[in-house]
Structure 1
């Protein structure tokens, strides 16, 4: 009988690694496979020759939304619980991924414990669509405002962090600010060091209760 395993698709290695480590800590008997893109996902399925026990997919990938990929994976692995994660506050995303075949949706600003409960629910045959982007927006209005300077970051690093909090990968951040991916990676390393975090997941968790406020002036 094939070994139980989870399949994580996220095109940012730090996020994928953080989620994988968290899953391993909560479900030590579950092997975890991470892939950065759709070709990697199909290759992993071919290599394993079995469907994963659970699949986790980032909604926004380098080439756009993952709706078609979700539907394709559902068709190929009809019995695999599928949870989608996103930092996007669009209230329609949860409904759209559910229509595409996902059994769960978790907002990236949820605490790790909520993510763990969602995974356990899906593994138990249930669904998880409790994320309410409107509630996230309201909660941020009550969060403590904090500027990049107060976090020890430059203006550019603050802008990059703001996009990280929205769940954007390095490629999309680089395109938005007309930077190279290597430059974005350097900024990310500095941001993680300043926040005392090893991964993006940890950085997001450390900023719970804070609302990042960017200066109105353009960065130099």
Structure 2
């Protein structure tokens, strides 16, 4: 892989830019390192330097929203790979960045040698994706949503849900709670609506996913 002629660092924190500059200079001795503190400066830098081989773009810069800077740079300079750099590793952000045309996503928490290897992959024409369990993250997000739905239940509805999880029939629930069948049916109907499911079986499945006590 040839040494890049020029790399542009876009980050509003001078300390971060200095750290990245030091890393790049140690890795690519003959490379010209450019800096920009925001999207506007990044556009100016790219307009004035046709030899930029790579852009390292921070996810959060003051004059851009989410991936608007990435989309703008990709539209104006489609031949220049742009790697998103972020202080946090968020699966949804990684997916959005790649969908918006990023050539990679580098968490700032990566070790120096891992960052260097990631950059080498991108400069070699590959897409760098951090080692991250996206399936686990998606599962965790779904469980959070389930807990949020359960949290909307009234105390009595939570009791009824717990009895459903335990396998109780409506008449058994009515007996244990000393209420009428009509009241139990009303509770079950409200539970299904709040959990956004169509049957008591689905409600039990959701409850079991988050280990709701039965």
Partner of 1:40: 41
Partners of 1:106 and 1:131 within 8 A in 2: no
Equivalent position of 1:125 in the other structure:
125
Alpha-carbon distance in 2 for matches of 1:22, 1:123: 16
Residues in 1 aligned to 2:99 and 2:118: alpha-carbon distance in whole angstroms: 18
Q: Could you say which residue in structure 2 is the equivalent of 1:95?
A: 95
The within-5 A match list for 1:10-29 is 10-29=11-30
Question: 4+ runs of 1 displaced by more than 6 Å?
Answer: none
How many residue pairs get matched? 133
Aligned to 1:54: 54
Please give the residue correspondences for 1:104-115 in structure 2 after superposition, counting only pairs within 5 Å.
104-115=104-115
1:91 Cα deviation from its structure 2 partner: 1.7
Counterpart of 1:53 in 2: which secondary structure? strand
Instruction: State the TM-score, normalized to the length of structure 2.
Output: 0.57
Structure-1 separation of matches of 2:113 and 2:59: 20
Distance in structure 1 (CA, Å) of the matches to 2:46 and 2:110: 29
Matched residue of 1:129: which SS? coil
Q: Give 1:131 deviation, angstroms.
A: 3.9
Larger helix share, 1 or 2: 2
In 2, the alpha carbon distance for the partners of 1:71 and 1:124 equals: 22
| Other-structure match for 1:151 | none
Distance in 2, Cα, partners of 1:66 & 1:119: 22
* CA distance, structure 1, for counterparts of residue 18 and residue 65 of structure 2: 21
Asked whether the equivalents of residues 94 and 105 of structure 1 are also in contact (C-alpha less than 8 Å), the reply is yes
Structure 1: 5+ residue stretches without partners? 138-220
TM-score by length of 1: 0.56
Contact map agreement 1:53 1:80 (CA 8 A) in 2: yes
- Structure 2 counterpart of 1:7: 8
Cα offset, 1:66, TM superposition: 4.1
Larger radius of gyration: 2
